[in-house]
Amino acid sequence: MQSERFLFGKEVPVEDVGGGIKRQILGHNDDLMLVKAIFDDGAEGYQHQHYHSQVTYVESGVFDVTIDGVTKRQSAGDSFFIPPNAMHGAICIEAGVLLDVFSPIREDFFENYKKGDVS
């Protein structure tokens, strides 16, 4: 399974995952995935963990990011790495966008696409 080689943001579906967060899958194969996460002010990516490695780039906004109990404030131009199985989450202080890279892919992100629950 893999995405098209060229994707155009205006044509890629955006999924409302609730709580002031939207998600757009911007490219993937079985090993690697890029996801754009759009946060409203105050939206929270609740503490969770997964077996994937994750690197996130803060495209815009301000976020309080917690990884394994340590919280740092990050803003546009910053990034963070989440090793497999580390507890993590983020609270959006000022509306913004995170670009998440996962390896391997987050297959669970495709569930709503399969059901047609994206716009």
The mean pLDDT value of the chain amounts to 94
Q: pLDDT tens for residues 14-43?
A: 999 999 999 999 999 999 999 999 999 999
Q: Which range marks the domain in which residue 64 is found?
A: 15-111
In a domain, 1, yes or no: no
Q: Name which of 30, 26, 37, 31 is nearest 4 in CA terms.
A: 26
Number of domains into which the chain is organized? 1
Domain of 51: which CATH number? 2.60.120.10
Confidence category of residue 113, pLDDT binned at 50, 70, 90: low
The pLDDT > 90 percentage for the chain reads: 88
- Residue 46 domain-assigned? yes
The torsion angles phi and psi of 16, rounded to 5 degrees, stand at -85, 110
> What is the predicted pLDDT for the residue at 110?
85
Q: What is the mean pLDDT of residues 56-64?
A: 98
Q: For residue 44, is it within any domain?
A: yes
76-115 burial, b at 16+ Cβ within 10 Å, e below that, comes to eeeebebeeeeebbbbbbeebbbbbbbeebbeebeeeeee
pLDDT of residue 116 exceeding 80, the answer is no
Give me the percent of the chain exceeding a pLDDT of 70. 93
Q: Does residue 117 belong to any structural domain of this protein?
A: no
Flag whether 7 is in a domain.
no
Give the pLDDT score at 115: 59
